Amino acid sequence: MADKIVDISWIKIKTKMFDDEKILLIESMPEADAILVIWIRLLIQAGKTNSNGYIFLNEKVPYTPEMLSTIFRRPLSVIKLALKTLSDLEMIEMDRAGNLLIANWEKHQSATELEKIRESNRIRQQRFRENQKLLNSKKEEDTEQDIDIERNVTVTLQGITKIWAKTFGRNPKIPEQDTTQRLIDKFGIEKTEQIMIEAVHQNFHSIFTLEKNLDENGNIKPKVKNGANISKGATGDELTQLIRNRQARQGG
What tens digit of pLDDT does each residue of 199-227 get? 888 888 889 999 999 999 989 988 655 54
Cβ-contact 45, 101 below 8 angstroms: no
Question: What is the reported pLDDT for 143?
Answer: 59
Question: What is the reported pLDDT for 106?
Answer: 82
Question: What is the reported pLDDT for 109?
Answer: 73
CATH annotation of 17-107: 1.10.10.10
Question: What is the reported pLDDT for 239?
Answer: 47
Q: For the beta carbon of residue 43, count every other beta carbon within 10 angstroms.
A: 21
Q: How far apart are CA 179 and CA 172, in angstroms?
A: 10
Question: What is the reported pLDDT for 87?
Answer: 94
User: Residues 179-205: what's their mean pLDDT?
Assistant: 89
pLDDT at 104 over 60: yes
Answer with the residue of higher pLDDT: 15 or 232: 15
Worst-scoring range by mean pLDDT, 5-9, 56-60, 189-193, 199-203? 5-9
Answer with the residue of higher pLDDT: 132 or 149: 132
What φ, ψ does residue 182 adopt, rounded to 5°?
-65, -40
Total residues found in the chain within this entry: 252
pLDDT tens readout for residues 150-165: 555 555 788 888 888 8
Answer whether 0.85 is exceeded by the pTM. no
Q: How far apart are CA 168 and CA 161, in angstroms?
A: 10
Cβ-contact 145, 128 below 8 angstroms: no
pLDDT tens readout for residues 57-91: 888 899 999 999 999 999 999 999 999 999 999 99
Q: For the beta carbon of residue 50, count every other beta carbon within 10 angstroms.
A: 16
The pLDDT mean for the chain works out to 79
- The SS3 assignment for 95 reads coil
Cβ-contact 36, 72 below 8 angstroms: no
Q: How far apart are CA 210 and CA 208, in angstroms?
A: 5
Q: Give strand ranges (E) for 50-188.
A: 54-58, 61-62, 92-94, 100-102
For residue 167, give the nearest of 183, 185, 150 by alpha carbon: 183
pLDDT at 128 over 90: no
What φ, ψ does residue 55 adopt, rounded to 5°?
-130, 115
**Residues spanned by CATH 1.10.10.10 within the chain?**
17-107
